[in-house]
Amino acid sequence: MAGEAQDQNWPLSKFYFMVDWGSVTNIPFQEVSGLDIEAQPIIYRHGNSPVFSEINMPGLEKNSIVTMRKAVLTKDSSFWDWYDRIKMNTIERQTVVIKLLDEVGNPTMTWTLSNAWPVKISATDLNADGSEVAIESIVIAHEGLVITYA
């Protein structure tokens, strides 16, 4: 009703986001997936336990592989350049930051991937009958995910 205090707690839209990696900022992507972490369970039972069942304890943290897709831009070979820097046990690791933005472009939620490096790059498919935008994807591994809220 008119005159009532408005609730400031709204669901966030997922379509307005930007990605930063290294010194390159505000890269527009079409899709980011794989922002998952999980604790691998350790199943244990000590020998003198009076309970005839297992105990589940948290084990190592497992980070998911992250896949990002974006349009192919003229003279933009940043995916390929980063992948090309992998040589004989030498990997250029970077911090990748994914920012979910509000309606005016301010970050509301941020995922920071530490020590990220490219695992796979997929070029666009080509089709003479199509009229879609050319899309390329990069798959990255990382060593930690930190989520922050604005």
pLDDT at residue 119, as a whole number: 94
pLDDT at residue 5, as a whole number: 62
Q: Are 54 and 44 in contact (CB under 8 A)?
A: yes
User: Of 31-40, 75-84, 111-120, which gets the smallest average pLDDT?
Assistant: 75-84
Strands 107-122 and 55-63: unpaired
| Interval 103-115 mean pLDDT | 94
Q: What percent of the chain is predicted at pLDDT more than 90?
A: 61
Which burial class, exposed, middle or buried, applies to 142 when counting CB atoms under 10 A from its CB (0-12, 13-18, 19+)?
A: buried
Q: Are 42 and 19 in contact (CB under 8 A)?
A: no
- The answer to whether residue 1 scores a pLDDT higher than 60 is no
CATH number for region 17-36+62-149: 2.30.110.20
| Interval 101-116 mean pLDDT | 94
Residues 36-47: tens digit of each pLDDT: 999 999 999 888
Question: What does pTM read for this prediction?
Answer: 0.83
Integer Rg of the chain from CA = 21
Residues 19-75: tens digit of each pLDDT: 998 888 888 899 999 999 999 999 998 888 888 888 899 999 999 999 999 999 988
Domain ranges for the chain, please list them: 17-36+62-149
